[in-house]
Structure 1
């Protein structure tokens, strides 16, 4: 396989990794906001905890996707 064919794959994977990392950062900021709201609005604590838990689940899913992309893959050339 020539290098010309590998470059777009590497670039595409790199862009995907960067997008996932950015998404994780945005989700972490939202988790921080939920934690602040839990302290500031105790009457809505339950709702903020639900949102925070959903965000943490999304972060875990994104980290799993990231780990799968970072894993070396076996490619069989014809």
Structure 2
């Protein structure tokens, strides 16, 4: 379901970067290609924020993560 949602957003909305917080552990999302953001890029130090993109690696994006993350 996650992969299908990402594909739909990429095609229909032209989304290229995806962020999420994992409440179920990081291994599930790592299996889908997400990576853990560095601690200095996180707004909430007790949570694990993750990033995914088919087009952009982590070094090529701005890490000005919105406050709601």
TM-score (norm 2): 0.25
Give the structure with the larger helix fraction: 1
Give the structure with the larger strand fraction: 2
Larger Rg belongs to: 1
TM-score (norm 1): 0.23
